Amino acid sequence: SKGGKEGEGSEEEDDVLTQEEKIKMIMQESAAAEMFVVDPLPWCKHLSEVQPLHHEGVVALKRCEECGEGREVWVCLSCYHYYCGRYINQHMLRHGESLGHHVVLSLADLSVWCFACDAYLHNKVLDPAVSSAHQSKFGNKPH
- For residue range 39-50, what is the model confidence (pLDDT) as tens digits? 999 999 999 999
**How many CA atoms lie less than 13 Å away from 122 in the CB half-sphere?**
6
Q: Is 24 exposed, middle or buried, given 0-12, 13-18 or 19+ CB atoms closer than 10 A?
A: exposed
- For residue range 96-141, what is the model confidence (pLDDT) as tens digits? 999 999 999 999 999 999 999 999 999 999 999 999 999 999 999 8
Mean pLDDT, range 52-77, rounded to an integer:
97
pLDDT value, residue 35: 67
Mean pLDDT, range 4-20, rounded to an integer:
55
